[in-house]
């Protein structure tokens, strides 16, 4: 008998046995109601691997009595799609075809456009799946003709029944009785990162390697932990997870939560992505702490330099210092907000000529020998003198507003006093 992976053998045949996805497949879930109606529209399934997308496509094909054809976009081509369409109306697909296109994001725009012929046919139903955000990676014309459902990572508690079924199947295969040490099931469930396929692979590996003791297949907690190492990580440096973790790190520091900051930084470093961690911490120093604690910028730069010099795993030490320091520091985005508003004016052409007294003196030798009129602030008390710096068109415009933190308010009091005296 040919080898069949446990993850494939345990695949559910009914919606009731699908692990997780209660928000769409529960008793009153919308996708469940659509499937039970028998009238299946073109669908896009979006979510991480191992969350049931292919399983649900198989169930739909069985319930509608349609021939299931599967194409993986990583290796498939337009000719494969045309071959599927060619089966319509033949003995191979008398009741129509359900085309399951896995990883649709790997089809380019032209290839995705060719799917429109499939979508418009009543005898071919398209179910496309993707691990990336479909609103970024799927051609808009395909999306507009499809219904999108999000599949979410499965909670550890929901994986436990699937683990038990997998253990039962493996025990029958191997001709023994499974005996797990306390905590093994939970270790597998919590380490799979919401990926049921990954959990089944762990069960299969552990059962095959189990020690036989008087007819029992004994699986130790130590072995389970070894198999589980780093397996809970979901991270693709070119995918959504990469940007989601970076976003979560920045928002946690911006929100002054040092615990969450450590969590997301740990996920980056466990994935080995030192470069992204360093870059994002420097962005946070300038964007989110900013003028409320301006010394943080050279401090974080020193931490980043030290991390790059040390490399992982020691790099975690200075980067942890930087993350916690910024999470607990006062925050201000006043400077970059001011610059963004100024840049918006520049982009829309709201500029104007430089005031004559701000021009470089080279202009005086180009037929413009009139007096420049620039007042040198260092020649005046407190190194300040009132004069116009913005172009006439923008005279009186204010981009920068002092933040409410102690540092910027101290600067405001200083300049209010000096400018008030000079202007009075």
Query: The tokens 């918006």 sit on which residue?
Result: 344
144 versus 368: the higher-pLDDT residue is 144
Give every strand in the sheet of 97-102, ordered side by side. Answer: 67-72, 97-102, 124-130, 43-46, 147-150
Given a cut of 60, whether residue 230 has pLDDT beyond it is: no
By the 8 A CB rule, do 276 and 169 touch? no
Looking at residue 176, its pLDDT comes to 86
Please check the confidence at residue 251 and state whether its pLDDT lies above 90: yes
Model pLDDT for residues 293-326, shown as the tens digit of each residue: 999 999 999 999 999 999 888 999 999 999 999 9
The conformation of residue 266, written as its DSSP 8-state character, comes to H
Backbone CA torsion sign across 221, 225, 226, 228: positive
Q: Tell me, what's the pLDDT at 258?
A: 93
Could you tell me what percentage of the chain is helix, strand and coil, using 3-state DSSP and rounding each to the nearest 5?
55, 10, 35
* pLDDT (mean) for 213-218: 86
CA distance 297 to 216: 60
**Beta strand extents in 39-78 (DSSP E only):** 43-46, 67-72
Q: Which two tokens stand for residue 183?
A: 């905590």
pLDDT tens column, 47-99: 888 888 989 998 998 888 888 888 998 888 888 888 887 887 677 777 778 88
pLDDT surpassing 90 at residue 282: yes
- Rounded percentage of the chain residues whose pLDDT exceeds 70: 92
- Of 77-91, 368-382, 400-414, where does the model show the most confidence? 400-414
How many Cα atoms within 13 Å fall on the side-chain side of residue 370? 5
d(CA 359, CA 357): 6
Looking at residue 369, what is its pLDDT? 46
Mean of per-residue pLDDT scores for the chain = 86
Confidence of residue 24 (pLDDT cuts 50, 70, 90): very high
For residue 109, give every residue at least 6 positions away whose Cβ sits within 8 Å of its Cβ, in sequence order, or none.
Answer: 139
Residue with tokens 């928000």: 23
| Predicted confidence band of residue 175 (pLDDT cuts 50, 70, 90) | confident
The residue that leads in pLDDT, 117 or 381, is 381
Contact 204, 164 (CB under 8 A): no
pLDDT on residue 211? 86
Local confidence band at 421 (pLDDT 50, 70, 90 cut-offs): low
Residue 185 tokens read as 């099931």
Cα separation, 203 vs 184, in Å, equals 10
Sign for the CA dihedral angle at 409, 413, 415, 419 comes to positive
Q: Is 183 left (phi over 0), alpha (psi -120 to 50) or beta?
A: left
Query: Which residues are paired to 128 by β-bridges?
Result: 44, 101
3-class SS of residue 247: helix
Radius of gyration of the chain (CA): 31
Using DSSP, how many helices (H) and how many strands (E) does the chain show?
20, 8
| pLDDT value of position 121 | 74
Cα–Cα distance between 403 and 333 in angstroms, integer? 8
The answer to whether the CB of 10 falls within 8 A of the CB of 165 is yes
**DSSP string for residues in 270-306:** HTT-HHHHHHHHHHHIIIIIGGGSTTHHHHHHHHHHH
pLDDT tens sequence across 338-368 = 999 999 988 888 888 878 888 776 555 555 5
**Alpha carbon distance 11, 200 (integer Å):** 10
**CB of 411 closer than 8 Å to CB of 334:** no
31-40, 187-196, 298-307 — which is least confidently predicted?
Answer: 187-196
Contact 40, 60 (CB under 8 A): yes
- Residues of the chain with pLDDT > 90, as a percent, come to 35
Peptide bond into 153 cis (omega under 30): no
DSSP state at residue 138: S
Q: Domains in the chain, please, with CATH?
A: 21-150 (3.40.50.300), 156-228 (1.10.8), 240-327 (1.20.272.10), 334-423 (1.10.3710.10)
């Amino acid at each position: 008998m040919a080898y069949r992976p446990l993850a494939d053998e345990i695949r559910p045949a009914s919606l009731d046995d699908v692990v997780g996805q209660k928000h769409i497949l529960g008793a009153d879930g919308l996708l469940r109601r659509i499937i039970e109606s028998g009238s299946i529209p073109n669908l896009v399934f979006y979510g991480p691997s191992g969350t049931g997308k292919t399983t649900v496509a198989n169930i739909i094909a069985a319930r509608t009595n349609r021939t299931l054809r599967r194409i993986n976009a990583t290796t498939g081509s337009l000719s494969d799609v045309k071959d599927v369409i060619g089966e319509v109306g033949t003995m191979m697909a008398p009741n129509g075809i359900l085309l399951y296109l896995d990883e649709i994001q790997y089809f380019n725009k032209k290839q995705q456009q060719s799917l429109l012929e499939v979508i418009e046919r009543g005898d071919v139903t398209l179910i496309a799946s993707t691990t990336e955000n479909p609103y970024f990676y799927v051609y808009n014309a395909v999306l507009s003709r499809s219904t999108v459902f999000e599949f979410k990572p499965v909670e550890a508690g929901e994986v436990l029944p699937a683990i038990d079924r997998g253990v039962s199947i493996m025990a029958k295969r191997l001709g023994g009785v499974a005996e797990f040490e306390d905590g093994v099931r939970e270790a597998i469930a919590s380490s799979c990162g919401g990926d049921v396929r990954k959990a089944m692979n762990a069960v299969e590996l552990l059962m095959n390697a189990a020690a036989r003791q008087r007819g029992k297949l004994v699986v130790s907690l130590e072995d389970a932990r070894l198999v589980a190492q780093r397996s809970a990580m979901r991270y693709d440096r070119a995918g959504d997870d990469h940007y989601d973790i970076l976003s979560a790190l920045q928002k946690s520091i911006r929100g002054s939560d040092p615990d969450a900051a450590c969590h997301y930084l740990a996920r980056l470093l466990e994935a080995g992505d030192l470069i992204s961690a360093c870059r994002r911490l420097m962005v946070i120093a300038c964007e989110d702490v900013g003028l409320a604690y301006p010394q943080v910028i050279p401090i974080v730069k020193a931490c980043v330099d030290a991390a790059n010099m040390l490399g992982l795993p020691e790099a975690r030490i200075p980067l942890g210092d930087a993350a916690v320091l910024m999470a607990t520091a006062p925050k201000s985005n006043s400077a970059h907000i001011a610059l963004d508003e100024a840049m918006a004016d520049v982009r829309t052409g709201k500029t104007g000529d430089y005031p004559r007294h701000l021009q470089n003196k080279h202009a005086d030798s180009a037929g413009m020998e009139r007096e420049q009129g620039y007042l040198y602030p260092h020649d005046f008390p407190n190194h300040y003198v009132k004069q116009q710096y913005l172009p006439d068109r923008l005279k009186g415009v204010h981009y920068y507003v002092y933040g409410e933190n102690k540092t910027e308010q101290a600067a405001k009091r200083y300049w209010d006093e000096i400018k008030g005296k000079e202007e009075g």
